[in-house]
Homo-oligomer: A and B are copies of this chain.
Amino acid sequence: MRQAGRFLPEYRAMRARYGFLELCKNPEAAAEVTLQPIDRLGVDAAILFADILLLVEPLGVGLEFAKGEGPVIHRPVRGAVDVARLQPVDVDSAVPFVFETVRTVVRALGGRVPLIGFADAPFTVASYVVEGGASRDYVHTKRLMYEEPEAWHRLLSVLTDATARYLNGQIAAGAVAVQVFDSWVGTLSPADYRTFVLPHVAALIKAITPGVPVIHFGTGTATLLPLMREAGGNVIGLDWRVELDTAWASIGHDVAVQGNLDPVVLMAKPSYIRQRVADILRRAGGRPGHIFNLGHGVLPDTPVDHVKALVDMVHEMSSK
Residue ranges of A at the interface with B (Cβ–Cβ < 8 Å): 137-139, 142-143, 146-147, 186-192, 220, 222-223, 240-243, 246, 262-265, 267-269, 272, 279, 299, 301
Contact = CB atoms under 8 A, between A and B. Distances in A.
Nearest to A296: B137
10 contacts: A137-B299, A142-B265, A147-B272, A189-B241, A192-B262, A220-B241, A222-B223, A222-B241, A223-B242, A223-B243
B222 A269 contact: no
Nearest to A186: B241
A137 to B, nearest CB: 6
A243 B139 contact: no
A148 to B, nearest CB: 10
A241 B190 CA distance: 7
Given A137-B264, A222-B223, A223-B246, 10 more contacts: A137-B299, A138-B264, A146-B268, A187-B241, A189-B240, A189-B241, A189-B262, A190-B241, A191-B279, A222-B241
A269 B142 CA distance: 13
A188 B222 CA distance: 12
Contacts of A139: 264, 267, 299, 301
Contacts of A265: 142, 146
Contacts of A267: 139, 142-143, 146-147
A186 B223 CA distance: 13
Contacts of A268: 143, 146-147
A130 to B, nearest CB: 12
A241 B241 CA distance: 13
Nearest to A220: B220
Nearest to A295: B189
B137 A243 contact: no
Contacts of A301: 139
Contacts of A220: 186, 220, 241
Greatest chain B CB density within 10 A among A146, A186, A220, A240 is at: A146
A269 to B, nearest CB: 7
